[in-house]
């Protein structure tokens, strides 16, 4: 019975650790502000394709996975339009962009962190990009 309690305790602490790290991820993004829209080809990719509110932009980063730039290059479409703005990420003021193809990035000084969101289809109107 003592062994069972130890195993239970270890599993409980492991579960709490995973839960806390997931909660922290969402809290590391704050003051998310959408400031502008850009398109390399307005006929193919327009404002409606990436029309996210401040809350939806934050939700994108909360739901997205951090990846290496090579993953985006090799496995995701580079949408020709994006929105950009500012946020606080890991206690720093940063600039971000979210592309219509459900990819994004955050630039804090010289450091760029890349994101993809495979569960964000509901945020984007044009799924063909």
pLDDT score, position 4: 54
Confidence of residue 28 (pLDDT cuts 50, 70, 90): confident
**Sheet with 103-108, side-by-side order of all strands:** 29-39, 81-89, 92-99, 103-108, 111-116, 65-67
* pLDDT cut 90: percent of the chain above it: 66
Tell me the average pLDDT of the chain: 81
pTM above 0.85, yes or no: no
Q: DSSP assignment, residue 17?
A: H
By the 10 Å C-beta count (0-12 exposed, 13-18 middle, 19+ buried), 96 is classed as buried
Half-sphere exposure of 111 (CA within 13 A, CB side): 7
Helices of type H across the chain? 2-27, 54-63, 69-75
Mean predicted confidence (pLDDT) in 35-60: 95
**pLDDT at 52 > cutoff 70:** yes
């Amino acid at each position: 019975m003592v062994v069972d309690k130890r195993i239970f305790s270890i599993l409980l602490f492991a579960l709490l650790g995973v839960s806390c790290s997931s909660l922290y991820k969402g809290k590391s993004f704050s003051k998310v502000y959408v400031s502008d829209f850009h398109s390399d080809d307005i006929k193919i990719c327009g404002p409606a394709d990436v029309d996210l509110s401040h809350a939806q932009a934050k939700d994108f980063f909360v739901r997205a996975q951090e990846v290496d730039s090579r993953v985006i290059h090799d496995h995701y479409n580079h949408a020709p339009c994006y929105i950009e703005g500012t946020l606080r990420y890991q206690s720093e003021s940063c600039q971000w962009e979210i592309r219509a193809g459900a990819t994004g990035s955050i630039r804090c000084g010289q450091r760029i962190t890349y994101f993809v969101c495979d569960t964000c289809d509901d945020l984007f109107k044009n799924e063909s990009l």
